[in-house]
Structure 1
Amino acid sequence: MRILVVGAGGIGGYFGGRLVEKGEDVTFLVRETRKQQLDQNGLVVESVHGNMKLQPKTMLSGETAEPFDVILLSTKSYHLQGAIDSIKDYVTENTVILPLLNGIAHVEELRAAFGENHVIGGLCFIETTLDEQGKVIQTSPIHDLVFGEYSQEKTERIMKLQAAFEGTKANFRLSDNIEQDMWHKYQFITTLSGVTSLFRSPIGPIRDQEYGVETIQTLLQEVGSVMRRVDAPLADGIEDNQFQKIMQMGYNMKSSLQRDMEKGLKTEAEHFFGYLLQIAKEKQLSTPVIATVYANLEVYEAQ
């Protein structure tokens, strides 16, 4: 199976690297500066699950390539349109696009660009970042990639994909209900990103404060109420489960959005919170905590 990984940052570099390590036919579609870095130094991954130094195949958008069976999309939401433009020439009749972006809004954009049949569901759970030298630093025990058909069918193509992912030194899991898994992840990461960015703190000190805990609970409820108004397939009692998960996280755990803020980078505020606020406005829902988180991020980005 020929796999194209769009981007070789923290997520694409890690999961793509694990597939290269296994022996799969993987090519990284990257920008010129990253290509030079990878060609010169290789793909270097420092991980609690074992380090890697690989010499991967790389290419630039516009270069000619044989058809790819799957395109693994691991960009930030604000780079989505650029990624769509960069892969248009590589999406053939049988190509499957597996996006790992957080949230939901990107699904319709991908379907509009390539057709519903080309897009399957996906998400990942991993704490990873790219350092100044271009190394992928992966620091937590969790390194999960989840995928599946929106129809929940075990199609021929999804079973081939599962076979390609099996035996990789990361947890690639075929989901029985990928749409629900994606909404659950969206609710979780929105809450975690919201409170950690709002308080400018890892999750531990927030939990130590009475009103910090109250903010976590209120944000979970607000997010869930918005999602249910568009018939998101949230499980019964999911807010309680999400709350317990957040309360059990490592004391110094930070969200990727918070890490982006600490680096002075652009955030995914619009993709996470702007999307929910748009729904809330249409449905006339009161969401003061979501609005506060969004305003905080907008002020940050305007500075």
Structure 2
Amino acid sequence: MKILVVGAGAIGGYFGGRLLEKGEDVTFLVREQRKEKLQQTGLKIRSKNGDLQVTPKLLTKDDSSQPFDVILVSTKSYHLEQAIKDIQSFVGPETMILPLLNGIAHLELLIKAFGEKQVIGGLCFVETTLSEDGTIVQTSPINQLVYGERTGEKTERIEKLEQCFRGTKAEFVKSENINQDMWHKYLFITAMSGITAMMEAPIGPIRDLESGQRTIKAFLDELVTIMEKIEAPIQQGIAEIQLNRMNSMAPEMKSSMQRDIEKQQPTEFEHLQGYLLTQAKKVTVSVPILETIYTKLKLYEEKQKTSSNL
């Protein structure tokens, strides 16, 4: 299968690199500056699952190409609209769009752009970052990508995709209930990113405090209440499951949002916390912790805008 990975950053570069390592036909859609860098250095991954350096095939948005079988979209949510424009010429009638963004709101934009049929479900669990020299650094052994038909069907194209993904040095998992998986991930990442960003600390010191433990639990309960009210496909008891998961994580674990704030970079708070706050208002659910976290992140964004205009 011909695979196009949108971007060669921490997530797309990692999973695309693993597929390229296996020998799959992978091309990266990148900006001109990143293209020049990769042409000089190659795509480099430093990982607990094995280091890798390869010379990838590269495209920019203005290059021409035949349509791809699969387009893996792993951009930040605030870059999604531009990414949709950039991939238009690479999408054919049978192209599968596989998004790995956090959250749920991006599905509506992708479906509007490419149609209900072409957008499948996806998510990933991986802790990666780009070093100053552009190397993709994986900081924990978890490297899971989950995908599946949003209808839950066992289609020929998903079976073909499974064959393509099989045998890599990353864990590619076909799901028969990807919608629920995506909502569960959404719950986890919204809680994890919100708590660590608000407290400005890794998860360990927060959960070690009695007050921190109560706050995490209360926040998860708030988010689950919203999701239940809007009839999201979540399982009963998911708040407790996600709390146990947070309590079992390495104490030094940080969210990507927290790392973005530490680097003074934009965050995905509107896509994560903001979307659920909007839903809470629609169904009149009281969410004081979510509102507090959203307010802190909104103030951070406004400060960033002010600083960039100076």
TM interval, short-chain normalised = over 0.9
Quote the offset at 1:210 in angstroms: 1.2
Quote the offset at 1:233 in angstroms: 0.8
Q: Which amino acid aligns with 1:227?
A: M
Structure 1 segments, 4+ long, off by >6 Å, are: none
Whether 1:212 and 2:212 are equivalent positions in the alignment is yes
Partner of 1:288: 288
Distance (Å, rounded) in 2 between the aligned partners of 1:84 and 1:241:
34
Distance (Å, rounded) in 1 between the aligned partners of 2:22 and 2:66:
21
Please give the residue correspondences for 1:91-170 in structure 2 after superposition, counting only pairs within 5 Å.
91-170=91-170
SS in 2 for 1:98: strand
Note if contact 2:48-2:140 (Cα within 8 Å) is conserved in structure 1: yes
Whether 1:68 and 2:68 are equivalent positions in the alignment is yes
Post-superposition Cα deviations, 1:25-49, rounded to whole Å, max 9, x if no partner, equal 0000000111011111000000000
Distance (Å, rounded) in 2 between the aligned partners of 1:289 and 1:136:
34
Please give the residue correspondences for 1:182-221 in structure 2 after superposition, counting only pairs within 5 Å.
182-221=182-221
Post-superposition Cα deviations, 1:261-285, rounded to whole Å, max 9, x if no partner, equal 0110000010001100111111111
Structure 1 length-normalised TM? 0.99
Partner of 1:226: 226
SS in 2 for 1:10: coil
Quote the offset at 1:208 in angstroms: 1.4
Distance (Å, rounded) in 2 between the aligned partners of 1:234 and 1:163:
29
Partner of 1:175: 175
Note if contact 1:62-1:89 (Cα within 8 Å) is conserved in structure 2: no
Please give the residue correspondences for 1:33-52 in structure 2 after superposition, counting only pairs within 5 Å.
33-52=33-52
Range 207-216 or range 121-130, more displaced: 207-216
Q: Which amino acid aligns with 2:91?
A: V
Quote the offset at 1:83 in angstroms: 0.4
Unaligned stretches of 5+ residues in structure 2:
304-310
Quote the offset at 1:105 in angstroms: 0.2
Quote the offset at 1:147 in angstroms: 0.1
Distance (Å, rounded) in 1 between the aligned partners of 2:230 and 2:301:
29
Post-superposition Cα deviations, 1:243-294, rounded to whole Å, max 9, x if no partner, equal 0000010010000111100110000010001100111111111001111111
Q: Which amino acid aligns with 2:53?
A: K
SS in 1 for 2:117: helix
Distance (Å, rounded) in 1 between the aligned partners of 2:110 and 2:230:
19
SS in 2 for 1:267: coil
Post-superposition Cα deviations, 1:92-126, rounded to whole Å, max 9, x if no partner, equal 10000000000000001100011000100000000
Distance (Å, rounded) in 1 between the aligned partners of 2:176 and 2:156:
15
SS in 2 for 1:214: helix
Q: Which amino acid aligns with 2:55?
A: Q
Distance (Å, rounded) in 1 between the aligned partners of 2:67 and 2:190:
36
Quote the offset at 1:67 in angstroms: 1.7
Number of positions where the alignment pairs a residue of Structure 1 with one of Structure 2: 303
Post-superposition Cα deviations, 1:59-93, rounded to whole Å, max 9, x if no partner, equal 10021012200000000000000100000111110
Note if contact 1:104-1:186 (Cα within 8 Å) is conserved in structure 2: yes
Distance (Å, rounded) in 2 between the aligned partners of 1:247 and 1:97:
34
Distance (Å, rounded) in 2 between the aligned partners of 1:231 and 1:286:
17
Distance (Å, rounded) in 2 between the aligned partners of 1:41 and 1:142:
26
Distance (Å, rounded) in 2 between the aligned partners of 1:235 and 1:283:
20
Note if contact 1:31-1:60 (Cα within 8 Å) is conserved in structure 2: yes
Distance (Å, rounded) in 2 between the aligned partners of 1:216 and 1:287:
13
Distance (Å, rounded) in 1 between the aligned partners of 2:224 and 2:88:
35
Distance (Å, rounded) in 2 between the aligned partners of 1:230 and 1:20:
40
Unaligned stretches of 5+ residues in structure 1:
none
Quote the offset at 1:141 in angstroms: 1.4
Quote the offset at 1:169 in angstroms: 0.6
Distance (Å, rounded) in 1 between the aligned partners of 2:204 and 2:20:
36
Q: Percent identity?
A: 56
Partner of 2:9: 9
Distance (Å, rounded) in 1 between the aligned partners of 2:130 and 2:227:
32
SS in 2 for 1:285: coil
SS in 1 for 2:92: coil
Note if contact 1:102-1:186 (Cα within 8 Å) is conserved in structure 2: yes
